[in-house]
Amino acid sequence: MAVQTDPPIAGHGAAGHGPESGPRRDFLTLLTGAAAVIGAGAFVFPFLDSLSPVGGPDSADATVDVDLSKVAPGQQIVVVWRGRPVFVVHRTPAALLALQDTNLTNRLRDWASRELQQPDYVVNWHRSLAPEYGVMVGICTHLGCVPGYVPNPSPTEPVANWPGGYACPCHGSKFDLAGRVFEGAPAQYNLPVPPYSMPTKTSLRIGLSPDDLDFDFDTIRQL
């Protein structure tokens, strides 16, 4: 399993990593036992293909397990699932409050997740099974670049009143820490949420829905 770690969310008002400060160059992977996979911050995925399921149920990477006990509050790791980056972020209590703030939701294109960009079982304000853990396919819904993790709130960067989230280095689309796209961005849709379950409170199984539920990733709405 390939993962990339990002630093924990720092204090309020810390500098962001928006276009003005340059695309993130640290979108490189660490591995838990294999070789590095993902490239730089402006890495572009072949967009339509990237969202098509590859590998059937018997595929070696049909599911990926993640040990959440190794993801500190404020930290993000990137897991490669079926050839795609999947962001797994441990959201802090402050970040969870920000996700519910109308000062943020009023700036989002689809704050209530009405578009089919996620399984029904994560249609809620945090777009996940457990509020503190976000799980999103890390491919911009505009043209397929990999958004950078910009977790620190800032009054100015990468945009005014930044609550923390993701900034795409290619054409400037912004997403919050639940993967919800900001109004005015070239991207039209929230970041997809893959099917996943939580076998325990500290583990994820990406690619497999909870036992009593189902979700076909091929039904994700895209451009």
User: Is 90 part of the annotated catalytic residue set?
Assistant: no
Among 79, 140, 208, 220, binds ligand FES (CB under 6 A): 140
50 binds ligand FES (CB under 6 A): no
146 binds ligand FES (CB under 6 A): no
Closer residue to ligand FES in complex, CB, 9/139: 139
- Nearest approach in angstroms of CB 88 to ligand FES is 20
The 3-class secondary structure across the chain, one letter per residue, is CEEEEECCCCCCCCCCCCHHHCCCCCCCCEECCCCCCCCCCCCECCHHHHCCCCCCCCCCCCCEEEEHHHCCCCCEEEEEECCEEEEEEECCHHHHHHHCCHHHHCCECCCCCCCCCCCHHHCCCCCCCCCCEEEEECCCCCCCECCEEECCCECCCCCCCECCEEECCCCCCEEECCCCEECCCCCCCCCCCCCEEEEECCEEEECCCCCCCCCCHHHCCCC
- Nearest approach in angstroms of CB 170 to ligand FES is 4
- Nearest approach in angstroms of CB 143 to ligand FES is 4
Among 12, 70, 114, 171, binds ligand FES (CB under 6 A): 171
Among 9, 38, 170, 206, binds ligand FES (CB under 6 A): 170
Residues serving a catalytic function are 171
- Residues lying near ligand FES in the complex (CB under 6 A): 140, 142-145, 168, 170-173, 186-187
